[in-house]
Structure 1
């Protein structure tokens, strides 16, 4: 069994090194030959981690001809700003390297199992590889999984066939031990647990078995009476066509918006290139307009918008999970 752990600039050390040690230890107990490599999309090089910029040697290029496991760690950095050291920016930058293309090819290969730790799931999600797939990541990134049309599952480990994802940073131990159990059996995994004096946490979620009876209390939807529904403010003049630009950290989007009110109902559409979509959950709150919209480029995301209008000018922002807010500016053209 061959395991390739992918390093990229800004990667989290524990996400990569904890699984590396687990797989290396498993080799001591297994009759099957187990090899573990630290690789990069670019090939042999020193890769700078996100932890104090510590550098680790990647021994070779990620090899898609080698069957086995490819494990993608998350990033380490700030979660409180949108600067170059922020985790979302580092994850986005990783998708823009050759790694993004290699992962798209890897997921198509039947003899490769893709696994992720923490923010590594978001690298797959940003590349459109988790659409309609069950997955987990760090709790702060679960909203972005939803925005990328994945199916978030609040579990320590989620096994969705050829993709196995893990939660927060320490889940690297748990994911690696589960993969050892899945590929080599529980006795080998138990031996590694005893060596490390660590017991794997949580139940691995799989789309198998009986579906739990839903908690009715959790499914109660709060509704408003007609008296409390937000009424469109006719003094808030947003109707018409708007030429807008959305400045995201991964590219600029040009979107043509069109808003109308008919019989008291607000409707809106958006055109991005040749793609036309209907705006969802369009409401007015005070002097602000809010809606949700799916964009297809530069990546597939469900964005939530909030904008203000001043005459012929529009300004606001779009947000998707933990990604930095993207500024929207526009002007009325009709």
Structure 2
């Protein structure tokens, strides 16, 4: 069972390293990191990533996982990247995403009429890719599994293990990585954060939300 993680300039590294860490610990699962080429890629947090495979030599995948990040608008506008996603997604058994990666899957035509989630600040854009928004850390609709923002990638990874290998294996991995979250502050969701804090963080995301909306509109106009 091979799980392939797509990476691109401006990817959020935790979107894929979180699920990669847990998925790679499950029995019978092989992982691969795939990019346009094998040149170093800078994540939106500054970490440099080198892929295992380029698009032209990527192996067949059972699971395609698309993370998000500030580079998603440019990724959507990249013909080579979108061609790869369409090809790999059509061949994969499972189509998956973390955070705003779902908008890449959606632009490739894989989310129409299907329930999905993403980072809370971008959730209202899901109808632009034909998805049915559902607010949850992980949403499964048939062979489509989407995770919420950034840290939800760990929840997503464990859910994916459960779907591929079984709940017992997923529980064992959860214990092995000591995933027992107890955050020091109860403000990880707009539902719990103080309204002034939510407003301030929402304002911080405004430019990124508009950039993604513009890329989605351009993609819809020139499919």
- Normalised TM-score (structure 2): 0.77
Q: Is the 8 A contact 2:3 2:30 kept in 1?
A: yes
Change (3 A) 1:135 1:50: same
1:123 maps to: 104
TM superposition shift of 1:124: 1.9
TM superposition shift of 1:250: 4.5
TM superposition shift of 1:108: 2.4
TM alignment of 1:79-118, pairs within 5 A: 87=70, 90-97=71-78, 98-109=80-91, 111-118=92-99
Q: Is the 8 A contact 2:76 2:215 kept in 1?
A: no
SS in 2 for 1:116: strand
TM superposition shift of 1:11: 0.2
1:38 equivalent to 2:33? Answer yes
1:74 equivalent to 2:55? Answer no
Change (3 A) 1:251 1:112: closer
The structure richer in helix per residue is: 2
Change (3 A) 1:103 1:20: same
SS in 2 for 1:45: coil
Structure with higher Rg: it is: 1
Runs of 5+ in structure 2 lacking a partner?
182-212
Change (3 A) 1:298 1:35: same
TM alignment of 1:219-230, pairs within 5 A: none
TM alignment of 1:6-45, pairs within 5 A: 6-26=6-26, 30=27, 32=28, 34-40=29-35, 42-45=36-39
Q: Separation in 1 of the partners of 2:154 and 2:174?
A: 10
TM superposition shift of 1:128: 3.8
TM superposition shift of 1:96: 2.1
Q: Separation in 2 of the partners of 1:250 and 1:6?
A: 19
Q: Is the 8 A contact 1:6 1:72 kept in 2?
A: yes
1:78 maps to: none
The structure richer in strand per residue is: 1
Q: Separation in 2 of the partners of 1:47 and 1:161?
A: 32
1:59 equivalent to 2:41? Answer no
1:4 maps to: 4
TM superposition shift of 1:198: 1.3
Q: Separation in 2 of the partners of 1:92 and 1:252?
A: 11
Change (3 A) 1:171 1:252: closer
Choose which of 23, 29, 41 in structure 2 pairs with 1:47.
41
Q: Is the 8 A contact 1:43 1:59 kept in 2?
A: no
Q: Separation in 2 of the partners of 1:127 and 1:101?
A: 8
1:289 maps to: none
SS in 2 for 1:145: helix
* Count of residue pairs brought into register by the alignment: 190
Runs of 5+ in structure 1 lacking a partner?
76-86, 201-247, 254-294, 300-334
Q: Separation in 1 of the partners of 2:20 and 2:106?
A: 23
Change (3 A) 1:199 1:298: farther
Change (3 A) 1:192 1:100: same
CA RMSD after TM alignment: 2.4
Q: Is the 8 A contact 1:137 1:165 kept in 2?
A: yes
TM superposition shift of 1:196: 1.3
